[in-house]
Amino acid sequence: MSRLLSVTLLTLSVGLAAAPFGLQAADLADGTQPKKPASLTVTVAAPKQQDWPINVPASGWLRPWHEAVIASEIAGLQVTAVLVDVGDTVKKGQKLAQFDAASIRAQVDEALAHVASAEATLNQARSDAERGNRLSGSGAVSEQQVKQYQITEQTAQAALDAQKALLEEQKINLSKTQVLAPDDGVISSVSATLGSVASTGTEMFRMIRQGRIEWQAAVSPKFIGKLAIGEKATIPTPGGSVTGTIRLISPTVDQNTGRLVVYVSLPQTDSNGRSPKAGLYASGVISVGSAMAMTVPQSAVVLKDGLNYVFTLNADDTVSRQRVVPDRRMDDAVEITGGLDPKAEVVQVGGAFLSDGATVKVVPATGATQ
């Protein structure tokens, strides 16, 4: 009895163990495979065609449009007043500093006296010449004397002209005792000090003409054909974004950097009402039109070993890894310029957790879970 029970149990065990293998063999014979479990729940989306602006990347310094150096035009005089400070906005002709003008005024007064004396001498010579002309031919005066009267008049006239020139020179020197702004602008530097004695050409002030700041942006020469005067450029600054206009494109490429310099005129204030500050280094973009772009969500692009990939959905709910070439980026989307079929469906999120050939479960965008 016990021997019969043992044989029966052994037969049942062998039958149960052989059953799965029998099923698997049957599946293979029918040409089907048991479906692998999904490794990730994902959402997919087809690439979009969008009209995107073409932005040329650029970087460079914010500098004054023109900077005026205001120097002393007279020597040996003491500075008696400095009337402006750094950051002051000035108008053309506004007084910036004053030199001690007492000695120059004295020279002007002396020149005036010399002019008056020369005028008196000329009047006397003119009177003698007129009298000689009247008596000429009467025998009262000789022709030689008449000629002498005329020469004396001419000499007196020349002496008067010379004294007037000296007077004009002294008046010019007197005007130079006032340092005036050559244009509207903003004072960017003050070197003048009260009580100092400046020599001719000594720098006293620097001024940003008209308060205009420009962005001297360096761009790659490959964009030369796309750049044009009047194109818009946008840069972020600590005060806010600033949008300017290209006013000039350098005719040459810098041999040291291999970059092309573009001069962008900036407005007086940024988006927050603050003035752009010269001396800042900023990176921004120059807008040169628009073009159609095939885009995918930025989260769909996976970076691995320095290369960019996306995962596309196959008909059997598996995914294939595709190497792609990204280009422009905007908000949360990226343009793909190569490696992707426009009709493919790409995994939007979670590609970093997938491998080539992995099985996924596709759900609507609101239901994706890892």
> To the nearest whole number, what is the mean pLDDT of the chain?
85
Rounded to 5 degrees, what are φ and ψ at 123?
Answer: -60, -45
Q: Is residue 48 part of a domain?
A: yes
Least confident of 20-24, 66-70, 164-168, 343-347: 20-24
**Which domain, by its residues, includes 112?**
101-176
Shared domain check, 307 and 340: yes
Shared domain check, 313 and 262: no
Q: How far apart are CA 321 and CA 91, in angstroms?
A: 66
CATH number of the domain encompassing residue 357: 2.40.420.20
Q: Is residue 28 part of a domain?
A: no
pLDDT of 291 reads: 86
Q: Is residue 6 part of a domain?
A: no
CATH number of the domain encompassing residue 224: 2.40.30.170
Structure tokens given for 24: 């698997």
Shared domain check, 48 and 93: no
For tokens 């007077």, the residue is 167
Shared domain check, 184 and 93: yes
Please state the domain count of the chain. 4
271, 289, 307: which is the final residue of a domain?
289
Q: Is residue 151 part of a domain?
A: yes
Residue 242 Cα distances to 89, 209, 213, 272, angstroms: 21, 20, 11, 9
Shared domain check, 199 and 163: no
pLDDT of 238 reads: 74
Strand partners, 307: 304
β-pairing, 360-362 vs 40-42, is parallel
Shared domain check, 331 and 216: no
* Among the listed residues 330, 223, 233, 220, the one whose alpha carbon sits nearest the alpha carbon of residue 276: 233
Of 302 and 28, the one with more pLDDT:
302
SS3 category, 193:
coil
Q: Is the pTM of this model over 0.75?
A: no
- Banded pLDDT at 98 (limits 50, 70, 90): very high
**Please, which residues have CB within 8 angstroms of residue 220's CB and are 6 or more apart in sequence?**
56, 57, 259, 260
pLDDT of 249 reads: 94
pLDDT of 83 reads: 96
Shared domain check, 239 and 189: no
Shared domain check, 246 and 259: yes
